[in-house]
Structure 1
Amino acid sequence: MERTVYVNGKYLPESQASVSVFDRGFLFADAVYEVTAVLDGKLIDQAGHLARLKRSATELGMVLPCSEQELIQIHHQLIEKNQLVEGGIYLQLTRGNEGDRDFSFSDGIKPTLVLFTQARNLIENDTAQQGIKVISVEDIRWRRRDIKTTCLLPACLAKHIAHQAGADDVWMLENGVVTEGGSSNAYIVDQLGRVITRPLSQDILHGITRASLLQMAQDLDITIIERPFTLQEAYAAQEAFISSATAFVWPVIAIDEHRIGGGQPGPVARKLREIYIEIARSRAI
Protein backbone atom coordinates (compact mmCIF):
# COMPACT_ATOMS: atom_id res chain seq x y z
CA MET A 1 0.00 0.00 0.00
CA GLU A 2 1.37 3.40 -0.98
CA ARG A 3 1.75 5.70 1.99
CA THR A 4 -0.22 8.88 2.40
CA VAL A 5 1.97 11.81 3.40
CA TYR A 6 1.21 15.38 4.44
CA VAL A 7 2.67 18.36 2.55
CA ASN A 8 1.60 21.93 3.31
CA GLY A 9 -2.03 21.25 4.11
CA LYS A 10 -2.59 18.35 1.70
CA TYR A 11 -2.70 14.59 2.20
CA LEU A 12 -1.12 13.00 -0.86
CA PRO A 13 0.13 9.62 -2.09
CA GLU A 14 3.89 9.64 -1.49
CA SER A 15 4.54 9.32 -5.24
CA GLN A 16 2.75 12.63 -5.82
CA ALA A 17 4.31 14.58 -2.96
CA SER A 18 6.95 17.22 -3.68
CA VAL A 19 8.54 20.44 -2.46
CA SER A 20 10.32 23.15 -4.42
CA VAL A 21 13.96 22.71 -5.46
CA PHE A 22 14.42 26.18 -3.94
CA ASP A 23 13.17 25.14 -0.51
CA ARG A 24 15.75 26.16 2.07
CA GLY A 25 15.46 22.80 3.79
CA PHE A 26 16.79 21.17 0.60
CA LEU A 27 19.39 23.84 -0.18
CA PHE A 28 20.74 24.64 3.29
CA ALA A 29 19.31 22.06 5.74
CA ASP A 30 17.48 25.12 7.10
CA ALA A 31 14.93 22.96 8.85
CA VAL A 32 13.98 21.26 12.10
CA TYR A 33 12.27 17.93 12.70
CA GLU A 34 10.67 15.65 15.26
CA VAL A 35 9.97 11.92 15.43
CA THR A 36 7.06 10.61 17.47
CA ALA A 37 6.70 6.92 18.23
CA VAL A 38 3.38 5.19 17.61
CA LEU A 39 2.24 2.21 19.68
CA ASP A 40 -1.18 0.60 19.31
CA GLY A 41 -2.09 3.38 16.88
CA LYS A 42 -1.44 6.07 19.50
CA LEU A 43 1.19 8.80 19.92
CA ILE A 44 3.92 8.43 22.56
CA ASP A 45 5.25 11.46 24.49
CA GLN A 46 3.55 13.77 22.01
CA ALA A 47 3.41 16.80 24.31
CA GLY A 48 7.17 16.68 24.81
CA HIS A 49 7.88 16.38 21.10
CA LEU A 50 5.64 19.32 20.24
CA ALA A 51 7.25 21.44 22.97
CA ARG A 52 10.72 20.65 21.61
CA LEU A 53 9.56 21.36 18.04
CA LYS A 54 8.33 24.77 19.12
CA ARG A 55 11.61 25.47 20.93
CA SER A 56 13.73 24.40 17.94
CA ALA A 57 11.68 26.58 15.60
CA THR A 58 11.87 29.56 17.96
CA GLU A 59 15.65 29.24 18.30
CA LEU A 60 15.96 29.53 14.50
CA GLY A 61 13.33 32.22 14.09
CA MET A 62 10.82 29.93 12.37
CA VAL A 63 7.06 30.04 12.86
CA LEU A 64 4.85 26.96 13.04
CA PRO A 65 2.20 27.19 10.30
CA CYS A 66 -0.51 25.63 12.47
CA SER A 67 -1.45 25.15 16.10
CA GLU A 68 -0.31 22.30 18.33
CA GLN A 69 -3.84 20.87 18.27
CA GLU A 70 -3.84 20.94 14.48
CA LEU A 71 -0.48 19.15 14.46
CA ILE A 72 -1.91 16.43 16.71
CA GLN A 73 -4.86 16.07 14.33
CA ILE A 74 -2.50 15.73 11.35
CA HIS A 75 -0.61 12.99 13.20
CA HIS A 76 -3.84 11.14 13.91
CA GLN A 77 -5.03 11.53 10.32
CA LEU A 78 -1.79 9.98 9.06
CA ILE A 79 -2.13 7.10 11.53
CA GLU A 80 -5.65 6.45 10.25
CA LYS A 81 -4.91 6.89 6.55
CA ASN A 82 -1.86 4.61 6.72
CA GLN A 83 -3.39 2.14 9.17
CA LEU A 84 -0.28 2.59 11.31
CA VAL A 85 -0.26 0.43 14.42
CA GLU A 86 3.40 0.57 15.40
CA GLY A 87 6.24 2.75 14.14
CA GLY A 88 6.87 6.46 13.96
CA ILE A 89 5.78 9.75 12.42
CA TYR A 90 8.42 12.14 11.10
CA LEU A 91 7.69 15.87 10.97
CA GLN A 92 9.95 18.29 9.13
CA LEU A 93 9.53 22.05 9.17
CA THR A 94 11.67 24.13 6.82
CA ARG A 95 12.03 27.89 6.61
CA GLY A 96 10.42 27.68 3.19
CA ASN A 97 11.08 28.88 -0.35
CA GLU A 98 11.79 32.44 -1.52
CA GLY A 99 12.01 31.50 -5.19
CA ASP A 100 15.78 31.24 -5.63
CA ARG A 101 18.95 30.24 -3.81
CA ASP A 102 20.29 32.91 -1.45
CA PHE A 103 22.07 32.60 1.89
CA SER A 104 20.09 35.49 3.36
CA PHE A 105 16.37 35.22 4.03
CA SER A 106 13.44 37.45 4.88
CA ASP A 107 11.14 37.06 7.87
CA GLY A 108 7.99 36.63 5.81
CA ILE A 109 8.70 33.29 4.14
CA LYS A 110 5.91 30.74 4.25
CA PRO A 111 7.33 27.63 5.96
CA THR A 112 7.15 24.15 4.48
CA LEU A 113 5.61 21.41 6.65
CA VAL A 114 5.97 17.74 5.77
CA LEU A 115 4.93 14.66 7.77
CA PHE A 116 5.18 10.97 6.90
CA THR A 117 4.86 7.63 8.64
CA GLN A 118 7.21 4.67 8.98
CA ALA A 119 5.93 1.28 10.09
CA ARG A 120 8.41 -0.71 12.19
CA ASN A 121 8.52 -3.13 15.11
CA LEU A 122 9.32 -1.17 18.24
CA ILE A 123 8.33 -3.69 20.92
CA GLU A 124 9.23 -7.12 19.49
CA ASN A 125 12.64 -5.92 18.45
CA ASP A 126 15.66 -8.22 18.32
CA THR A 127 18.08 -5.31 18.74
CA ALA A 128 16.42 -4.30 22.00
CA GLN A 129 16.80 -7.83 23.30
CA GLN A 130 20.35 -8.48 22.11
CA GLY A 131 21.89 -5.03 22.51
CA ILE A 132 24.09 -3.05 20.15
CA LYS A 133 27.79 -2.59 19.54
CA VAL A 134 29.13 0.94 19.13
CA ILE A 135 32.44 2.49 18.18
CA SER A 136 33.74 5.89 19.25
CA VAL A 137 34.24 8.71 16.74
CA GLU A 138 35.03 12.39 17.04
CA ASP A 139 32.00 14.65 17.26
CA ILE A 140 32.24 17.07 14.32
CA ARG A 141 28.74 18.54 14.54
CA TRP A 142 27.91 22.21 15.02
CA ARG A 143 27.65 23.74 18.49
CA ARG A 144 23.85 23.98 18.74
CA ARG A 145 23.03 20.30 19.05
CA ASP A 146 20.13 21.19 21.36
CA ILE A 147 18.24 22.35 18.25
CA LYS A 148 16.85 19.33 16.39
CA THR A 149 17.82 20.33 12.87
CA THR A 150 17.91 18.22 9.72
CA CYS A 151 21.65 18.88 9.36
CA LEU A 152 22.40 15.19 9.93
CA LEU A 153 25.31 14.58 7.56
CA PRO A 154 27.88 14.11 10.38
CA ALA A 155 25.64 11.51 12.00
CA CYS A 156 25.03 9.76 8.67
CA LEU A 157 28.76 9.54 7.98
CA ALA A 158 29.48 8.34 11.52
CA LYS A 159 26.85 5.59 11.29
CA HIS A 160 28.26 4.54 7.91
CA ILE A 161 31.73 4.25 9.47
CA ALA A 162 30.23 2.14 12.26
CA HIS A 163 28.53 -0.21 9.84
CA GLN A 164 31.72 -0.58 7.80
CA ALA A 165 33.48 -1.57 11.03
CA GLY A 166 30.85 -4.19 11.85
CA ALA A 167 29.24 -2.09 14.60
CA ASP A 168 25.65 -0.90 14.93
CA ASP A 169 26.18 2.74 15.85
CA VAL A 170 28.59 5.30 17.29
CA TRP A 171 29.22 7.17 20.49
CA MET A 172 30.62 10.60 19.69
CA LEU A 173 33.50 12.17 21.61
CA GLU A 174 34.51 15.74 22.27
CA ASN A 175 37.58 16.58 24.35
CA GLY A 176 37.76 12.99 25.53
CA VAL A 177 34.21 12.75 26.84
CA VAL A 178 31.10 11.20 25.33
CA THR A 179 28.50 13.61 23.97
CA GLU A 180 25.82 11.24 22.63
CA GLY A 181 25.06 8.47 20.17
CA GLY A 182 24.58 8.83 16.44
CA SER A 183 20.87 9.56 16.97
CA SER A 184 20.37 8.96 20.68
CA ASN A 185 21.32 9.96 24.20
CA ALA A 186 24.03 7.90 25.91
CA TYR A 187 24.20 6.44 29.43
CA ILE A 188 26.45 4.24 31.53
CA VAL A 189 25.77 2.41 34.79
CA ASP A 190 28.76 2.46 37.14
CA GLN A 191 29.84 -0.31 39.53
CA LEU A 192 27.59 1.15 42.24
CA GLY A 193 24.52 0.87 40.00
CA ARG A 194 24.24 4.61 39.40
CA VAL A 195 23.09 5.87 36.00
CA ILE A 196 25.43 8.52 34.59
CA THR A 197 24.50 10.68 31.62
CA ARG A 198 25.67 14.00 30.27
CA PRO A 199 23.72 17.03 31.56
CA LEU A 200 21.57 19.12 29.26
CA SER A 201 23.35 21.93 27.42
CA GLN A 202 23.86 23.12 23.86
CA ASP A 203 26.22 20.16 23.39
CA ILE A 204 23.52 17.47 23.25
CA LEU A 205 19.94 17.04 22.13
CA HIS A 206 17.41 17.41 24.93
CA GLY A 207 15.89 13.97 24.47
CA ILE A 208 12.18 13.58 25.19
CA THR A 209 12.63 9.89 25.99
CA ARG A 210 15.63 10.85 28.13
CA ALA A 211 13.49 13.15 30.28
CA SER A 212 10.90 10.43 30.84
CA LEU A 213 13.55 7.82 31.62
CA LEU A 214 15.32 9.94 34.21
CA GLN A 215 12.04 10.58 36.02
CA MET A 216 11.21 6.88 35.96
CA ALA A 217 14.65 5.98 37.26
CA GLN A 218 14.20 8.32 40.20
CA ASP A 219 10.81 6.76 40.91
CA LEU A 220 12.56 3.37 40.97
CA ASP A 221 15.15 4.74 43.45
CA ILE A 222 17.91 4.48 40.86
CA THR A 223 20.54 7.14 41.48
CA ILE A 224 20.97 9.54 38.55
CA ILE A 225 24.18 11.52 38.10
CA GLU A 226 24.15 14.10 35.32
CA ARG A 227 27.78 14.78 34.41
CA PRO A 228 30.12 14.18 31.49
CA PHE A 229 31.78 10.76 31.41
CA THR A 230 34.90 9.65 29.59
CA LEU A 231 35.39 6.82 27.15
CA GLN A 232 37.53 5.02 29.73
CA GLU A 233 34.66 5.21 32.23
CA ALA A 234 32.37 3.75 29.60
CA TYR A 235 34.77 0.87 28.97
CA ALA A 236 34.71 0.06 32.71
CA ALA A 237 30.95 0.46 33.15
CA GLN A 238 28.69 -2.22 34.54
CA GLU A 239 26.14 -1.39 31.85
CA ALA A 240 25.62 1.04 28.99
CA PHE A 241 22.55 1.96 26.99
CA ILE A 242 20.99 4.51 24.67
CA SER A 243 17.57 6.11 24.43
CA SER A 244 15.63 7.65 21.56
CA ALA A 245 12.05 8.18 20.44
CA THR A 246 11.73 4.93 18.50
CA ALA A 247 14.39 2.79 20.19
CA PHE A 248 13.05 3.65 23.67
CA VAL A 249 15.98 1.92 25.43
CA TRP A 250 18.59 -0.25 23.74
CA PRO A 251 21.41 -1.86 25.74
CA VAL A 252 24.98 -1.26 24.56
CA ILE A 253 26.97 -4.50 24.93
CA ALA A 254 30.30 -3.39 23.42
CA ILE A 255 32.16 -0.10 22.94
CA ASP A 256 35.19 -0.21 20.61
CA GLU A 257 35.20 -4.00 21.08
CA HIS A 258 35.35 -3.62 24.88
CA ARG A 259 32.57 -5.88 26.15
CA ILE A 260 30.23 -4.15 28.59
CA GLY A 261 28.59 -6.23 31.31
CA GLY A 262 30.06 -9.40 29.91
CA GLY A 263 28.61 -8.60 26.50
CA GLN A 264 25.01 -9.05 27.67
CA PRO A 265 22.17 -6.53 28.22
CA GLY A 266 22.08 -5.49 31.86
CA PRO A 267 19.19 -5.38 34.35
CA VAL A 268 18.97 -1.58 34.61
CA ALA A 269 18.53 -1.09 30.86
CA ARG A 270 16.04 -3.96 30.64
CA LYS A 271 14.01 -2.61 33.57
CA LEU A 272 13.94 0.96 32.26
CA ARG A 273 12.82 -0.22 28.82
CA GLU A 274 10.05 -2.33 30.34
CA ILE A 275 8.79 0.45 32.60
CA TYR A 276 9.06 3.10 29.89
CA ILE A 277 6.94 1.09 27.45
CA GLU A 278 4.35 0.34 30.13
CA ILE A 279 4.00 3.98 31.21
CA ALA A 280 4.25 5.41 27.69
CA ARG A 281 1.44 3.16 26.52
CA SER A 282 -0.75 4.21 29.43
CA ARG A 283 -0.24 7.90 28.57
CA ALA A 284 -0.42 7.61 24.77
CA ILE A 285 -2.98 9.74 22.93
Structure 2
Amino acid sequence: MEKASQPLQEFGGKEDDEDLLTLSLSTGPRSSAPAPPSSPFVQETHQLICLPSTPVPLSPPTSFFQQFLSIPQAPPLPPYHNYQTHSPNLNPDHNATVPQEIASTSRPCRSRRNPFQTPKQGKTDTVPAPYPWATTQRATVHSLDYLLSHNITTISGEVKCKKCEKIYKIEYDLQQKFTEVASFISRNKLSMHDRAPSDWMYPTLPSCEFCGSYLKPVLPKKKSINWLFLLLGQMLGCCKLSELKYFCKHTHNHRTGAKDRVLYLAYLGLCKQLDPKGPFDI
Protein backbone atom coordinates (compact mmCIF):
# COMPACT_ATOMS: atom_id res chain seq x y z
CA MET A 1 0.00 0.00 0.00
CA GLU A 2 2.88 2.30 0.54
CA LYS A 3 3.98 2.02 -3.08
CA ALA A 4 0.45 2.72 -4.31
CA SER A 5 0.14 5.96 -2.34
CA GLN A 6 3.39 7.48 -3.45
CA PRO A 7 2.16 8.77 -6.85
CA LEU A 8 -0.80 10.47 -5.21
CA GLN A 9 1.47 12.29 -2.77
CA GLU A 10 3.65 13.54 -5.58
CA PHE A 11 0.69 14.76 -7.67
CA GLY A 12 -1.71 16.25 -5.10
CA GLY A 13 0.20 17.00 -1.95
CA LYS A 14 -1.49 15.84 1.26
CA GLU A 15 -2.60 12.31 1.74
CA ASP A 16 -6.26 12.58 2.74
CA ASP A 17 -8.75 9.81 2.98
CA GLU A 18 -11.40 11.84 1.11
CA ASP A 19 -9.18 12.54 -1.88
CA LEU A 20 -8.15 8.97 -2.31
CA LEU A 21 -9.98 6.84 -4.81
CA THR A 22 -10.84 3.44 -3.53
CA LEU A 23 -10.65 0.68 -6.09
CA SER A 24 -12.48 -2.53 -5.48
CA LEU A 25 -11.57 -5.60 -7.49
CA SER A 26 -13.75 -8.67 -7.71
CA THR A 27 -12.28 -11.93 -8.87
CA GLY A 28 -14.36 -14.64 -10.47
CA PRO A 29 -13.65 -18.33 -10.75
CA ARG A 30 -10.19 -19.22 -11.76
CA SER A 31 -9.62 -20.47 -15.31
CA SER A 32 -6.69 -21.66 -17.31
CA ALA A 33 -6.83 -18.70 -19.75
CA PRO A 34 -5.78 -15.25 -18.42
CA ALA A 35 -8.64 -12.78 -17.98
CA PRO A 36 -8.49 -9.52 -19.93
CA PRO A 37 -7.66 -6.38 -17.89
CA SER A 38 -10.73 -4.70 -16.46
CA SER A 39 -11.28 -0.98 -16.35
CA PRO A 40 -13.65 0.92 -14.04
CA PHE A 41 -14.62 3.24 -16.86
CA VAL A 42 -15.74 0.58 -19.35
CA GLN A 43 -18.97 -1.27 -18.88
CA GLU A 44 -19.91 -4.16 -21.15
CA THR A 45 -23.47 -4.36 -22.39
CA HIS A 46 -25.15 -7.34 -23.92
CA GLN A 47 -28.29 -7.10 -26.03
CA LEU A 48 -30.59 -10.10 -26.27
CA ILE A 49 -32.34 -10.53 -29.62
CA CYS A 50 -35.68 -12.27 -29.29
CA LEU A 51 -37.14 -14.05 -32.32
CA PRO A 52 -40.88 -14.00 -32.91
CA SER A 53 -42.70 -17.06 -31.65
CA THR A 54 -45.07 -17.18 -34.63
CA PRO A 55 -43.68 -18.98 -37.78
CA VAL A 56 -42.93 -16.83 -40.78
CA PRO A 57 -44.97 -17.90 -43.82
CA LEU A 58 -42.91 -19.17 -46.75
CA SER A 59 -43.33 -18.01 -50.32
CA PRO A 60 -45.52 -20.15 -52.54
CA PRO A 61 -43.70 -22.75 -54.72
CA THR A 62 -42.72 -21.83 -58.24
CA SER A 63 -44.39 -23.21 -61.35
CA PHE A 64 -41.61 -25.79 -61.86
CA PHE A 65 -42.14 -27.31 -58.43
CA GLN A 66 -45.89 -27.18 -58.90
CA GLN A 67 -45.55 -29.20 -62.08
CA PHE A 68 -43.17 -31.59 -60.37
CA LEU A 69 -45.53 -32.10 -57.43
CA SER A 70 -48.49 -32.59 -59.75
CA ILE A 71 -46.90 -35.59 -61.54
CA PRO A 72 -48.87 -38.73 -60.61
CA GLN A 73 -46.80 -41.28 -58.77
CA ALA A 74 -46.71 -44.91 -59.92
CA PRO A 75 -48.43 -47.39 -57.62
CA PRO A 76 -45.98 -49.21 -55.37
CA LEU A 77 -45.10 -52.78 -56.19
CA PRO A 78 -46.16 -55.54 -53.82
CA PRO A 79 -43.56 -56.64 -51.31
CA TYR A 80 -40.97 -59.17 -52.34
CA HIS A 81 -42.31 -61.90 -50.09
CA ASN A 82 -45.68 -61.90 -51.90
CA TYR A 83 -44.29 -63.76 -54.91
CA GLN A 84 -41.71 -66.46 -55.35
CA THR A 85 -39.30 -67.41 -58.09
CA HIS A 86 -39.21 -70.78 -59.78
CA SER A 87 -36.10 -72.87 -60.36
CA PRO A 88 -36.81 -76.00 -62.45
CA ASN A 89 -33.57 -77.66 -61.37
CA LEU A 90 -34.20 -77.31 -57.64
CA ASN A 91 -37.94 -77.82 -57.28
CA PRO A 92 -39.88 -78.87 -60.43
CA ASP A 93 -43.21 -78.95 -58.60
CA HIS A 94 -42.95 -75.37 -57.41
CA ASN A 95 -45.10 -72.88 -59.35
CA ALA A 96 -43.80 -69.35 -59.80
CA THR A 97 -46.16 -66.44 -59.30
CA VAL A 98 -45.11 -63.13 -60.81
CA PRO A 99 -47.02 -59.90 -60.09
CA GLN A 100 -49.17 -58.62 -62.90
CA GLU A 101 -47.46 -55.22 -62.83
CA ILE A 102 -44.05 -56.79 -63.51
CA ALA A 103 -45.37 -59.19 -66.17
CA SER A 104 -47.02 -56.36 -68.11
CA THR A 105 -43.84 -54.24 -68.22
CA SER A 106 -41.45 -57.04 -69.26
CA ARG A 107 -40.21 -57.11 -72.87
CA PRO A 108 -40.95 -60.10 -75.10
CA CYS A 109 -38.03 -62.47 -75.67
CA ARG A 110 -36.65 -62.70 -79.19
CA SER A 111 -33.98 -64.83 -80.77
CA ARG A 112 -30.77 -63.08 -81.72
CA ARG A 113 -29.37 -63.82 -85.16
CA ASN A 114 -25.71 -64.00 -86.00
CA PRO A 115 -24.96 -61.06 -88.34
CA PHE A 116 -21.74 -62.68 -89.57
CA GLN A 117 -23.30 -65.83 -91.03
CA THR A 118 -26.40 -64.36 -92.63
CA PRO A 119 -26.68 -61.96 -95.57
CA LYS A 120 -27.46 -58.31 -95.01
CA GLN A 121 -30.92 -56.88 -95.36
CA GLY A 122 -32.07 -56.98 -98.97
CA LYS A 123 -29.74 -59.86 -99.94
CA THR A 124 -30.48 -63.58 -100.16
CA ASP A 125 -28.42 -66.75 -99.93
CA THR A 126 -29.33 -67.74 -103.48
CA VAL A 127 -28.26 -66.01 -106.70
CA PRO A 128 -28.57 -66.99 -110.35
CA ALA A 129 -25.86 -69.52 -111.22
CA PRO A 130 -23.05 -67.47 -112.88
CA TYR A 131 -21.43 -70.56 -114.49
CA PRO A 132 -22.61 -74.04 -115.48
CA TRP A 133 -20.41 -75.59 -112.77
CA ALA A 134 -21.69 -73.24 -110.05
CA THR A 135 -24.84 -73.67 -107.99
CA THR A 136 -27.42 -71.07 -107.05
CA GLN A 137 -25.88 -70.88 -103.56
CA ARG A 138 -23.26 -68.19 -103.11
CA ALA A 139 -19.63 -69.38 -103.35
CA THR A 140 -20.67 -72.98 -104.01
CA VAL A 141 -19.87 -75.33 -106.91
CA HIS A 142 -21.24 -78.71 -107.94
CA SER A 143 -19.52 -81.91 -106.94
CA LEU A 144 -17.09 -83.69 -109.23
CA ASP A 145 -19.49 -86.56 -109.81
CA TYR A 146 -22.26 -84.17 -110.80
CA LEU A 147 -20.05 -82.31 -113.29
CA LEU A 148 -18.69 -85.46 -114.90
CA SER A 149 -22.17 -86.94 -115.15
CA HIS A 150 -23.33 -83.78 -116.99
CA ASN A 151 -20.33 -83.91 -119.38
CA ILE A 152 -18.67 -80.83 -117.86
CA THR A 153 -15.01 -81.74 -118.14
CA THR A 154 -13.44 -78.37 -119.02
CA ILE A 155 -13.45 -75.30 -116.83
CA SER A 156 -12.68 -71.97 -118.48
CA GLY A 157 -11.97 -68.46 -117.20
CA GLU A 158 -10.58 -65.09 -118.19
CA VAL A 159 -7.18 -63.62 -117.39
CA LYS A 160 -5.85 -60.14 -118.10
CA CYS A 161 -2.33 -58.92 -118.79
CA LYS A 162 -1.16 -56.42 -116.24
CA LYS A 163 0.91 -54.40 -118.73
CA CYS A 164 -0.89 -54.44 -122.08
CA GLU A 165 -4.30 -55.26 -120.52
CA LYS A 166 -5.04 -57.90 -123.13
CA ILE A 167 -7.67 -60.44 -122.03
CA TYR A 168 -7.16 -64.16 -122.60
CA LYS A 169 -9.42 -67.16 -122.07
CA ILE A 170 -7.80 -70.17 -120.43
CA GLU A 171 -9.28 -73.67 -120.11
CA TYR A 172 -8.36 -76.36 -117.58
CA ASP A 173 -9.08 -80.06 -117.62
CA LEU A 174 -11.31 -80.62 -114.60
CA GLN A 175 -10.24 -84.09 -113.54
CA GLN A 176 -6.53 -83.60 -114.18
CA LYS A 177 -6.18 -80.26 -112.40
CA PHE A 178 -8.27 -81.34 -109.45
CA THR A 179 -6.08 -84.42 -109.01
CA GLU A 180 -3.01 -82.19 -108.83
CA VAL A 181 -4.51 -79.97 -106.16
CA ALA A 182 -5.90 -82.90 -104.15
CA SER A 183 -2.59 -84.79 -104.19
CA PHE A 184 -0.70 -81.67 -103.09
CA ILE A 185 -3.06 -81.25 -100.11
CA SER A 186 -2.84 -84.92 -99.09
CA ARG A 187 0.99 -84.76 -99.10
CA ASN A 188 1.42 -81.44 -97.27
CA LYS A 189 -1.65 -81.03 -95.09
CA LEU A 190 0.08 -81.93 -91.83
CA SER A 191 3.00 -79.58 -92.47
CA MET A 192 0.76 -76.65 -93.41
CA HIS A 193 -0.48 -76.15 -89.82
CA ASP A 194 -3.76 -74.67 -91.10
CA ARG A 195 -1.89 -72.03 -93.11
CA ALA A 196 -1.57 -71.66 -96.86
CA PRO A 197 1.96 -72.31 -98.17
CA SER A 198 3.93 -69.77 -100.19
CA ASP A 199 2.98 -71.52 -103.45
CA TRP A 200 -0.65 -70.60 -102.77
CA MET A 201 0.05 -67.16 -101.36
CA TYR A 202 2.21 -66.15 -104.35
CA PRO A 203 1.05 -68.34 -107.24
CA THR A 204 2.99 -68.76 -110.47
CA LEU A 205 0.99 -66.91 -113.11
CA PRO A 206 1.07 -67.51 -116.89
CA SER A 207 2.91 -65.06 -119.15
CA CYS A 208 1.47 -62.80 -121.82
CA GLU A 209 2.21 -63.79 -125.42
CA PHE A 210 2.71 -60.19 -126.57
CA CYS A 211 4.59 -58.29 -123.85
CA GLY A 212 5.80 -61.14 -121.65
CA SER A 213 4.18 -59.75 -118.51
CA TYR A 214 2.15 -61.96 -116.19
CA LEU A 215 -1.56 -62.60 -116.46
CA LYS A 216 -3.91 -62.14 -113.53
CA PRO A 217 -7.40 -63.63 -113.31
CA VAL A 218 -10.30 -61.28 -113.94
CA LEU A 219 -12.22 -60.89 -110.70
CA PRO A 220 -15.77 -59.55 -111.11
CA LYS A 221 -18.19 -58.91 -108.27
CA LYS A 222 -18.02 -61.28 -105.33
CA LYS A 223 -21.16 -63.17 -106.24
CA SER A 224 -19.80 -63.80 -109.77
CA ILE A 225 -16.25 -64.96 -108.93
CA ASN A 226 -15.20 -68.07 -110.86
CA TRP A 227 -14.12 -70.06 -107.78
CA LEU A 228 -13.60 -73.39 -109.53
CA PHE A 229 -11.39 -71.82 -112.21
CA LEU A 230 -9.22 -70.19 -109.55
CA LEU A 231 -8.92 -73.48 -107.66
CA LEU A 232 -7.83 -75.52 -110.66
CA GLY A 233 -5.28 -72.87 -111.68
CA GLN A 234 -4.16 -72.50 -108.03
CA MET A 235 -4.71 -68.75 -108.30
CA LEU A 236 -6.91 -68.19 -105.25
CA GLY A 237 -4.04 -66.17 -103.77
CA CYS A 238 -4.85 -63.40 -106.28
CA CYS A 239 -8.11 -62.72 -104.42
CA LYS A 240 -8.30 -59.99 -101.84
CA LEU A 241 -8.78 -60.78 -98.20
CA SER A 242 -12.34 -59.42 -98.32
CA GLU A 243 -13.18 -61.77 -101.21
CA LEU A 244 -11.79 -64.77 -99.34
CA LYS A 245 -13.79 -63.79 -96.27
CA TYR A 246 -16.87 -63.60 -98.49
CA PHE A 247 -16.29 -67.23 -99.49
CA CYS A 248 -15.83 -68.36 -95.88
CA LYS A 249 -18.89 -66.43 -94.79
CA HIS A 250 -21.26 -68.15 -97.22
CA THR A 251 -19.70 -71.58 -96.72
CA HIS A 252 -20.03 -71.26 -92.90
CA ASN A 253 -16.32 -71.33 -92.15
CA HIS A 254 -14.31 -69.33 -89.65
CA ARG A 255 -13.22 -66.20 -91.49
CA THR A 256 -11.10 -64.25 -89.02
CA GLY A 257 -7.33 -64.19 -89.11
CA ALA A 258 -4.54 -63.47 -91.56
CA LYS A 259 -4.79 -64.05 -95.28
CA ASP A 260 -2.85 -67.34 -95.22
CA ARG A 261 -5.35 -68.74 -92.74
CA VAL A 262 -8.43 -67.68 -94.76
CA LEU A 263 -6.79 -68.81 -98.02
CA TYR A 264 -6.18 -72.25 -96.56
CA LEU A 265 -9.86 -72.52 -95.64
CA ALA A 266 -10.88 -71.49 -99.15
CA TYR A 267 -8.75 -74.19 -100.79
CA LEU A 268 -9.99 -76.95 -98.52
CA GLY A 269 -13.57 -75.69 -98.69
CA LEU A 270 -13.67 -75.87 -102.48
CA CYS A 271 -12.03 -79.29 -102.52
CA LYS A 272 -14.62 -80.46 -99.99
CA GLN A 273 -17.40 -79.27 -102.30
CA LEU A 274 -15.95 -81.22 -105.22
CA ASP A 275 -15.19 -84.36 -103.22
CA PRO A 276 -17.18 -84.51 -99.96
CA LYS A 277 -15.65 -87.88 -99.08
CA GLY A 278 -12.03 -86.78 -99.57
CA PRO A 279 -9.46 -85.88 -96.91
CA PHE A 280 -10.39 -82.22 -96.87
CA ASP A 281 -11.83 -81.79 -93.39
CA ILE A 282 -11.07 -78.41 -91.91
Whose RCO is larger (CA < 8 A, sep 6+)? 1
Normalising to structure 2: TM-score of the pair? 0.21
Normalising to structure 1: TM-score of the pair? 0.21
Normalized per residue, which structure has more strand?
1
